[in-house]
Amino acid sequence: MAFARASFEWLAPSLAHARPKPWRRQRARIFAIGLAPALVVLAVITIGPTLYLLVTSLTPASPVHPKSLTDFGDPLGNYRAMIGDGEFLNSLWVQAKLSVVTVVAQLAVGLGVALLLNAPSRFLEAVRTAFMLPMVLPPIVVAVIWKILFTPDISPLHHALAAAGMPVHSLIANPDLALWAIVVADTWEWFPFTMLMVLAALQMVPSEPIEAGRIDGAGPFALFRYILFPYIRPTLVVAALFRLIDSIKAFPLIYVLTNGGPGTATEVTNYYAFVEAFNFSYWGYGAAIATLMVTGVLLLSWLVDRLNPEEALDE
Amino acid sequence: MSSTRLLRHGSVCILLAVALLPALWMLQLSFRAGGNIFDMRFVFTPSLANYRSLWSGLFPGSLGHSAVVSLGATALSLVIGTPAAYALSRWRFRSRRPIALWILASRMAPPVAYTIPFFLAYRFVGLIDTLAGLIIIYLTFNLALVVWMMRNFFDGVPPALEEAAWIDGCGVWAAFRLIAVPLAAPGLAATGVLCFILSWNDFFYALILTRTQAMTAPVAIVNFMQYQGWEWGKIAAGGTLVMLPVVAFSVLVRRYLVSGLTAGGVKE
């Protein structure tokens, strides 16, 4: 048979299915060639830097001491310093507050807007795109917009409150309120993300159980609680994790609105790492904090992958 | 119109105002000159003074840097990422899932973690304050996005067409180029636009890795706040110029925007 196949091959060399093995191998080779550049580049620009970050975190690297980049005399020094560093511990607390409050607020607002938009109406469909504006704006523009709104001189909000006889001092200059000002701006910027994910999930909800619930006399709250909510809960969990991960990276808003202040009231961990690494040039210490953040983010990414409902279906 | 319907439309209108008015306030501020900035009356004589003063300074150069870096990073990540996305879509192999997870994780990593090693390496090889340096670091998020999005788009192209082409003697590479890519062209355009927006929007990397030679527009805006006193009119005008291309592009690709913005979270 082998002889027969070989002898016909010159007649129809294009009949791919007639010679499955070499064909499949050739196909796999070309796929591998297509995949390789991206994987190599990704490895060089993501795995490489991550390893170098880890290495740097084991040194007291700073520009003041030229040999410090390769000084591994006290590899855990930075990590030991972190435990006793009040400003770092404070940054973790500020981060925790900011993350929890913004994620909850964005889930609530995003879910609410999505439920409002989820009705058969040409108007509601048309305005969906408009709601995405805050999220697609350049983060620095969002920061400028809120800097304007939080600056009493030029803010229409402050002017309106003053005109109503309730003048308010600048929120971002008040240590007790600055973090809440950031929460407001961050929620405005990112509620569309939850909104989009919930809207996508709502479209997958079959109409039969809703109809059945309605016929059985369920009110709008019961319909949501017992029929809609179970369908969209996995999506809400994934949206919360995505926003949690992104909240760890919060930067432009804090940089422009408060610069981490007043004092250290809005200095989240990411911001503290930036200040240590690039304002004070303690590269080693900044790298140690960043290493900790990467560990946290990788754990959360792993969770996203475990919980992603669509991916589970994909298997 | 029933009362619940009225209530629903009414609340949506109010929320819409909350979502849009802050940006519109900045927009109108950019057309107020001098002392007009602190005037809260809605009627005023629009002036282009802020834009004119931006145009005569260094800002157009920063906008140019932003454009070059964003286009460069977009082109490079599309060229490298699209074949990889195709392979991930069509080729079933064992490490497919870990690779997808790695690509997702690289999108998640905090920028400060990349910045420290990149900064140290760039200092060494002289890429600090260069457009090339920014283009390379933008690949860290763009490449992952291209692979992730294009994989979804290729999943949507029926493989039967390519299989038919293979049987007719078309090579794998040719089938990719002549069948899969043209069929996924709208997706490719949308992915490109999203890469452009992400690069254009970047502030953190540009803040740390550029000084004057490669300063991008977002960093230039922040410099108006720090070194030249508070020039609200110029800040608002700069913000408007940085915002405009993003808004225009978003409208252009709004159909695909959702899948890109929620990449990794929602699978089409």
Range with the poorest average pLDDT among A68-77, A94-103, B101-110, B241-250: B101-110
**Mean model confidence pLDDT for chain A:** 85
Which pLDDT belongs to residue B264?
A: 55
In a domain? residue B237: yes
B52 vs A18, higher pLDDT: B52
Give, as one character, the DSSP assignment of residue B58.
Answer: T
Which pLDDT belongs to residue B232?
A: 87
| Cβ contact, residue pair B116, A286, below 8 Å | yes
Q: What is the pTM of this model?
A: 0.87
List CB contacts (< 8 A) between B139 and chain A.
41, 45
Quote the CA–CA distance of B83 and A206 in Å, as a whole number: 36
* Residue A14 pLDDT exceeds 70: no
* Residue B22 pLDDT exceeds 60: yes
- For the domain bounded by A98-267, which CATH number is listed? 1.10.3720.10
Which pLDDT belongs to residue A3?
A: 40
* Residue A13 pLDDT exceeds 80: no
Closest CA to A125 of B9, B250, B259, B265: B9
Which pLDDT belongs to residue B95?
A: 76
Q: At what angle do helices B59-90 and B96-108 cross, to 10 degrees?
A: 160
Which pLDDT belongs to residue A4?
A: 40
Which pLDDT belongs to residue A302?
A: 80
- Measure CB to CB from residue B37 to each of A49, A154, A311 and give the nearest one: A154
In a domain? residue B108: yes
Contact A193, B261 (CB under 8 A): yes
Quote the CA–CA distance of B246 and A141 in Å, as a whole number: 11
CB contact residues (below 8 A), chain A span 30-49, against chain B:
30-35, 37-39, 41-42, 45-46, 48-49
Question: pLDDT tens for residues A132-143?
Answer: 899 999 999 999
Which pLDDT belongs to residue A106?
A: 96
Q: For the domain that residue B246 is a member of, what is the CATH number?
A: 1.10.3720.10
| Cβ contact, residue pair A294, B113, below 8 Å | yes
* Residue A257 pLDDT exceeds 50: yes
Question: pLDDT tens for residues B192-229?
Answer: 998 999 999 999 999 999 998 999 999 999 988 875 55
Q: Which residue has the tokens 């949501």?
A: A224
Which pLDDT belongs to residue A309?
A: 52
In this structure, the dihedral spanned by the alpha carbons of residues A176, A177, A178 and A180, taken in order and rounded to 10 degrees, is: 130
* Residue A186 pLDDT exceeds 80: yes
In a domain? residue B70: yes
Contact B243, A136 (CB under 8 A): no
User: A56 in contact with B at a CB cutoff of 8 Å?
Assistant: yes
B213 vs B258, higher pLDDT: B213
Specify whether the backbone of B223 is left (phi greater than 0), alpha (psi in -120 to 50) or beta.
alpha
Give, as one character, the DSSP assignment of residue B192.
Answer: H
Domain count, chain B: 1
What share of chain A in percent tops pLDDT 90?
44
A278 vs B94, higher pLDDT: A278
Which pLDDT belongs to residue B152?
A: 83
Q: What tokens does A111 get?
A: 């879910």
Contact A99, A248 (CB under 8 A): yes
Which pLDDT belongs to residue B267?
A: 45
Q: What tokens does B160 get?
A: 């039967």
At A1, the pLDDT band (50, 70, 90 cuts) reads very low
Question: pLDDT tens for residues B72-130?
Answer: 999 999 999 999 999 988 888 777 777 777 777 777 788 999 999 999 999 999 999 99
* Residue B90 lies in domain: 51-261
Question: pLDDT tens for residues A146-160?
Answer: 999 998 888 888 888
Question: pLDDT tens for residues A187-212?
Answer: 999 999 999 889 888 888 888 888 88
In a domain? residue B99: yes
Give the chain A residue nearest B254 (alpha carbons): A129
List CB contacts (< 8 A) between A132 and chain B.
250, 254, 257, 261
In this prediction the ipTM stands at: 0.89
Contact A34, B171 (CB under 8 A): no
Question: pLDDT tens for residues B141-151?
Answer: 899 889 888 88
- Cα B240 to chain center, whole Å? 16
Specify whether the backbone of B264 is left (phi greater than 0), alpha (psi in -120 to 50) or beta.
left
List CB contacts (< 8 A) between B28 and chain A.
none
User: How far does B59 lie from chain A, in Å, by closest CA?
Assistant: 15
- Measure CB to CB from residue B139 to each of A13, A41, A48 and give the nearest one: A41
What is the pLDDT averaged over residues A44-62? 92
Query: How many other β-carbons are positioned within 10 Å of the β-carbon of residue A87?
Result: 12
What is the pLDDT averaged over residues B157-180? 85
Q: Which residue has the tokens 């109010």?
A: B14
User: How far does B268 lie from chain A, in Å, by closest CA?
Assistant: 9
* Residue A17 pLDDT exceeds 60: no
Give per-residue burial for B198-232: e unless 16+ CB within 10 Å, then b.
bbbbbbbbbbbbbeeebbbbbbbbbbbbeeeeebb
* Residue A12 pLDDT exceeds 50: no
